[in-house]
């Protein structure tokens, strides 16, 4: 086994949605970047995801906006409805209105389809799968990264885009398990034939609400309407499993949401395979970087998915971090990291707080502060 050390300018740890965006943006800004991902290969993981105009503007810069627009669904509204009566609680205009007011499309898409487009946009010889980080050694002029497969890499800067269980975060702050938030989400792609068989017209983006903030967010994940997905939010006492998710069932969905509005019942009836996931929390961080290490996304501000902005915040982080490094250059990275944190902290914490409270768009409100934001032109600092 070779013990040679590869030398690179910037290492991005994690090639998920935030990490892939960071690698693309940094490379586009002229930096030499390599991504290291612990998964053995790309896989179409997860299910639905919302991408707001705030992030479609970033994808325009990367050169993948049009492709994602072609794949994804374009809801004209975000509807919030009472889960029992079906009464409309809010109608938030998106679609053409959003393109005009916020400067880009609002799409809902399968997370795996979007991730594939992001990975394809990167130079393939710079994305390294099967690289699980096992050790980090901060040195005077670089950071020495050791991977489980024996490879060693010396990087000038390290971007931790490695999620809520971030090893970079553990390095900076010491190991600390995330806390269970008291919520689980059921996730399912429903049987479209069964759904259509109900004879009901399904809205392309709707959130059904019950007491105690229980909810089902349901939406199309393809522009042709061939895929429909839902994710729930259900308060529970504890999470007893060691795995990241467990199988659920139509019976469990029926037990929780049975007796609701006929459209909800049709969703439950069209459920075949459904999984159940815990939502984890951490407190807002007082430290986003140290030395040559910097974090983005869930590594530094994980949030419940109730605002549909978790991945969007990671990708916004990537855009702002890139701009700060462009401004300072590699040599003055510590100035860049300070500017990055100063620019991002308030917005990320606000989104984290509202996501955790689960109030977003339940009542009529103006979402422009989220959707009209442009990370490519927003003031730094």
So which residues are the catalytic ones? 50, 219
Helices 17-28 and 310-328, packing angle to 10 deg: 20
Neighbour tally for 3: CB within 10 Å:
7
What residues contact residue 253 under an 8 Å CB cut-off, 6+ apart? 186, 188, 232, 268, 271, 274
Q: How far does Cα 159 stand from its chain's mean position?
A: 16
Give the C-alpha separation, 42 to 130, whole Å. Answer: 10
Give the C-alpha separation, 239 to 313, whole Å. Answer: 26
State residue 131's pLDDT score: 97
**What's the Cα-to-Cα distance from 161 to each of 37, 81, 95, 105, rounded to whole Å?**
10, 35, 31, 25
Q: Which residue has the tokens 């612990």?
A: 38
CB 123 within 8 A of CB 107: no
User: How open is the CA angle 298-299-302, to the nearest 5 degrees?
Assistant: 30
What does DSSP assign to residue 263?
Answer: H
DSSP symbols for 177-208: PPEEEEEEEEEEE--HHHHHHTT----SEEEE
Which pTM value belongs to this model?
0.94
What residues contact residue 313 under an 8 Å CB cut-off, 6+ apart? 297, 301, 303, 347, 348, 351, 352
Q: How far does Cα 188 stand from its chain's mean position?
A: 18
CB 164 within 8 A of CB 282: yes
Model pLDDT for residues 345-380, shown as the tens digit of each residue:
999 989 988 888 888 898 999 999 999 999 999 999
Give the C-alpha separation, 41 to 34, whole Å. Answer: 16
Give the C-alpha separation, 358 to 374, whole Å. Answer: 24
Residues of the chain with pLDDT under 50: 1
Q: Which residue has the tokens 């994710």?
A: 231
Helix (H) or strand (E) holding 218: strand 215-220
Count the residues in the chain: 381
């Amino acid at each position: 086994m070779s013990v040679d050390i590869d030398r690179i300018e910037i290492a991005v740890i994690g090639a998920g949605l935030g990490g892939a965006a960071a690698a693309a943006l940094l490379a586009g800004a002229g930096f030499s970047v390599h991504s290291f991902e612990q998964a053995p290969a790309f896989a179409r993981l997860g299910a639905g995801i919302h991408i707001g105009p705030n992030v479609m503007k970033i994808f325009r810069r990367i050169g993948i906006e049009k492709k994602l627009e072609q794949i994804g669904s374009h809801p004209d509204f975000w509807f919030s409805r009472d889960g029992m009566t079906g009464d409309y609680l809010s109608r938030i205009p998106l679609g053409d209105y959003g393109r005009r007011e916020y400067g880009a499309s609002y799409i809902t898409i399968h997370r795996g389809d979007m991730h594939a487009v992001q990975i394809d946009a990167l130079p393939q010889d710079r994305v390294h799968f099967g690289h699980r980080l096992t050790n980090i050694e901060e040195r005077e002029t670089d950071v020495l990264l050791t991977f489980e497969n024996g490879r060693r890499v010396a990087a000038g800067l390290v971007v931790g885009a490695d999620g809520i269980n971030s090893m970079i975060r553990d390095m900076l702050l010491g190991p600390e398990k995330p806390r269970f938030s008291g919520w689980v989400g059921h996730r399912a792609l429903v049987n479209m034939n069964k759904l259509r068989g109900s004879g009901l017209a399904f809205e392309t983006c709707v959130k059904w609400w019950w007491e105690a903030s229980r909810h089902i967010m349901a939406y199309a994940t393809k522009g042709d309407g061939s895929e429909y997905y839902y994710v729930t939010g259900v308060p529970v006492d504890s999470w007893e499993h060691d795995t990241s998710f467990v199988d659920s069932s139509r019976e469990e969905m029926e037990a929780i949401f049975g007796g609701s509005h006929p459209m909800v019942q049709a969703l439950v009836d069209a459920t075949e395979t459904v999984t159940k996931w815990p939502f984890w929390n951490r407190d807002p961080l007082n430290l986003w970087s140290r030395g040559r290490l910097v974090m983005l996304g869930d590594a530094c501000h994980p949030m419940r998915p109730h605002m549909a902005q978790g991945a969007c915040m990671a990708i916004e982080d990537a855009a702002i971090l890139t701009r700060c490094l462009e401004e300072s250059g590699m040599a003055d990275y510590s100035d860049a990291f300070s500017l990055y944190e100063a620019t991002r902290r308030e917005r990320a914490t606000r989104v984290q707080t509202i996501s955790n409270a689960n109030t977003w768009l339940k009542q009529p409100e103006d979402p422009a502060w989220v959707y009209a934001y442009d990370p490519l032109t927003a003031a730094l600092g």
